[in-house]
Amino acid sequence: MPTNGQRGPQRQIPLLSSLPRPLYARAESLNAGSWTPRHRHDWVQFSYAISGVLGVHTAEGSFFAPPQWGVWIPAGLEHEVVTSMRAEMRSLYVRREDCQWAPSRCRVLEVTPLARELIKSFCLLPAEYPEDGGSEGRLVQVLLDQLAGLPEVGFSLPLPRHSRLLGLCNELIENPELGVTLGQWAERLGMSEKTLMRLFQRETGLSFRGWRQRARLLSSLSVLEEGDSVTRAALSCGYDSTSAFIAAFKGLFGYTPGELFRH
């Protein structure tokens, strides 16, 4: 999870007042550490990395897409997009009236093989493609139908609004290897363990243990992306056992670390 101190070049945000068609494509080759300032726009954005790991940060939390997964960003939501290493990114901008079926929250979605090929074909079309009756218009409609059905995955890290709890979460994000226990955190915050557990569940929708495990596993993506060993990735995010790390990783992502990046 890149921090402000590790940032590279700033990406330019397209200067569009409106979309020329219901669907608009943007293909980019991004350098390591590329980022956008926080911004919002009047259309939906769906971005995924063909290679590299994509991160989208909002006030509600952070959302991560390894290769062949994508992040759905609702219209009007303030966000920034970052990449830790070099990445090939494809973005689709969709008029909000053409995807009224979509929930008004950020989501990480699995890009199916069919959707991937449709996106690849659509990216070859001109920005002002013919809309009526031709193959281009049919391609767009099929692609929109496919986007509506992409399965959601749990590669998000919700953030609490409670100020002291947010400070705790930010510290764990910056230092995922920390072994501070729930009891020690409760003592620091001046509350009981039960109160902290209830507060954490209410604010994030996850248990403290589940949230910390997810934060650790998501932080390991950038280490693995750099080509470091699985053992190094496990140690960097607080796991003493490589086998325990691999089991937890597969439980969240559905793949072992090696399988994920080969996939």
pLDDT in tens, 201-211: 999 999 999 99
Which residues fall within 8 angstroms of residue 202, CB to CB, at 6 or more apart?
none
Residue of 57, 45, 154 whose CA lies nearest to 110 = 154
Q: What is the CA radius of gyration of the chain?
A: 19
Q: What is the CATH number of the domain that holds 46?
A: 2.60.120.280
pLDDT at 136: 92
Q: Cα separation of 26 and 190, whole Å?
A: 49
Residues 25 and 118 in one domain: yes
Shared-domain flag, residues 136 and 179 = no
* Average pLDDT, rounded, for the chain: 88
Statement to judge: residues 45 and 137 lie in one domain: yes
Q: Do 69 and 129 belong together in one domain? A: yes
The per-residue pLDDT for 6 is 53
Q: What is the 3-state secondary structure (H, E, C) of 66-98?
A: CCCEEEEECCCCCEEEEECCCEEEEEEEEEHHH
Pick from 91, 123, 153: which residue ends a domain? 153
Contact 32, 86 (CB under 8 A): yes
Distance (Å, whole) CA 91 – CA 49:
9
At residue 179, does pLDDT exceed 50?
Answer: yes
d(CA 44, CA 233): 34
Residues 130 and 179 in one domain: no
Summarize the confidence of residues 236-240 as an average pLDDT: 92
Among 153, 168, 201, give the residue marking a domain's end.
153
- Distance (Å, whole) CA 59 – CA 55: 13
Give the count of domains, the chain. 2
Write out the residue range of the structural domain in which residue 140 sits: 4-153
Quick one: 129 and 193 in the same domain? no
Task: Report the pLDDT averaged over residues 112-126.
Answer: 93
pLDDT tens by residue, 58-97: 998 999 988 889 999 999 999 998 887 777 888 999 999 9
Same domain, 117 and 239: no
Give the pLDDT confidence score for residue 49 in this predicted structure: 83
Together in a domain, 90 and 31? yes
Are 181 and 106 in the same domain? no
Q: What's the CATH number where 199 sits? A: 1.10.10.60
Indicate if 9 and 95 belong to the same structural domain.
yes
- Helix, strand, coil abundance in the chain, percent, nearest 5: 40, 20, 40
Read off φ and ψ for residue 166, nearest 5 degrees.
-65, -40
CA dihedral 125, 127, 133, 137 (to 10 degrees): 70
pLDDT digits 0-9 by tens, 120-175: 999 999 999 998 778 999 999 999 999 999 999 988 999 998 988 999 998 999 89
* 105 lies in the same domain as 234: no
Q: Is 1 a residue whose pLDDT tops 60?
A: no
Q: DSSP class of residue 12?
A: P
As a whole number, mean pLDDT of residues 86-111 equals: 88
pLDDT digits (tens, 9 = 90+) for 219-233: 998 888 878 899 999
Using the predicted structure, report yes or no on whether residue 7 has a pLDDT greater than 70.
no
Is 215 found in the same domain as 131?
no
Q: Which of 153, 187, 208 is the last residue of a domain?
A: 153
| pTM across the whole model | 0.83
